[in-house]
Amino acid sequence: MSPLLPGSWVLAPALLAIGAIAVAAVAGVLLARRRARLAARTLVYGVTVLSVLASLTSGGLHAYVALPWLAVLPLAGVWSYLLDGLFVGATRAREMRDGMLLAGLLFAMLAWACRGWGNDGLWFAFLVFMLTRGLSLGWIALRLQRRQAWIAAAAPG
């Protein structure tokens, strides 16, 4: 028996989930600040790195074209990664799946619609995918928070 409470084995998963949610939230806030600096550094240092690599490969010009997309991607994707941590910690895989299905469907439609844009169309579709994942998971998280349902009720038994 645990020294916390009689029958605290029932509380242990809930306490672990709450701890995981708190750790993911703190880590996400710290990462969000760093993502903005990372985007700026990607543009500044990316040109330098690509100039070295471009002399080694024939794909250097393609990399220069993708550099702005790479700089924006951390800003767009930070929320989806932050919320992934919250949902994993709260063992909410079903809600993560629903958000992923919505984002994946939109990605497929945009990738098909923007196929005439070449690689830029694919980057655009991926950026919208990341934004959609973040927004859909944020909306689901807000719903769970309003219902105070982050931690599912234990099954009777």
Which tens digits make up the pLDDT trace of 136-150? 999 999 998 898 888
The 10s digit of each residue's pLDDT in 17-54 is 455 455 555 555 555 556 666 666 666 666 666 666 56
The whole-angstrom separation of Cα 15 and Cα 138 is 22
What does the alpha-carbon distance between residue 106 and residue 37 come to, in Å, rounded to a whole number?
Answer: 29
DSSP H helical segments within the chain, as ranges?
Answer: 11-54, 60-89, 93-113, 119-146
H-helix or E-strand containing 2? none
DSSP 4: S
What's the token pair of residue 18? 């709450």
Query: Is residue 66 predicted with pLDDT exceeding 80?
Result: no
The span from the CA of 32 to the CA of 4, in Å, is 36
| Whether the model pTM is above 0.75 | no
